[in-house]
Amino acid sequence: MEKSIWQKIEEPYQEFHALGISRSVGYEKYYLYSLITHSTAIEGSTLTETDTQLLFDEGVTARGKPLVHHLMNEDLRKAYELAKEESKKGVEITPRFSAKAEYGSHAYYRECA
């Protein structure tokens, strides 16, 4: 009887975990970079995932790319991190919360709060 696809991948899967590869790669970080890059691209940002990685990890802006695109990525990262932290506390999603997520990194929100 032929092995199912799940049986075929079980051995490499076990080896992957035994080698500790999943612990050495920051999948959550790279998922966030991809999510932010693609979300801001919908809004017109021209930053690549590599540009975003350099921005977040090294604080380096991409040559020839508009500053506003870098700021879009930074703002979305801050909103994502705020939402993640607040969700751990069970904070209710309200219009006020949305405003805090949208303007939390801006002086405007702090003046209105």
- The pTM of this model reads 0.68
Which pLDDT score, from 0 to 100, does residue 95 have?
A: 84
Q: Where are the alpha helices (DSSP H) in the chain?
A: 5-19, 21-24, 27-42, 49-58, 67-88, 95-103, 107-112
Q: At residue 96, does pLDDT exceed 70?
A: yes
Which pLDDT score, from 0 to 100, does residue 104 have?
A: 54
Q: What is the mean pLDDT of residues 11-28?
A: 82
Look at 24 and 7; give whichever has higher pLDDT: 7
Q: 113: pLDDT confidence band, cut at 50, 70 and 90?
A: very low
Which 8-state DSSP code applies to residue 2? P
Provide the token pair at 97. 């919360």
Q: At residue 27, does pLDDT exceed 60?
A: yes
Let me know: does 61 contact 55? Beta carbons within 8 Å. Answer: yes
Q: What is the pLDDT of residues 38-88, one digit of tens each?
A: 999 999 999 999 999 999 999 999 999 999 999 999 999 988 888 888 889
Q: What is the pLDDT of residues 5-18, one digit of tens each?
A: 888 899 888 888 88
Helix axis angle, 49-58 to 27-42, nearest 10°: 120
Which pLDDT score, from 0 to 100, does residue 107 have?
A: 38
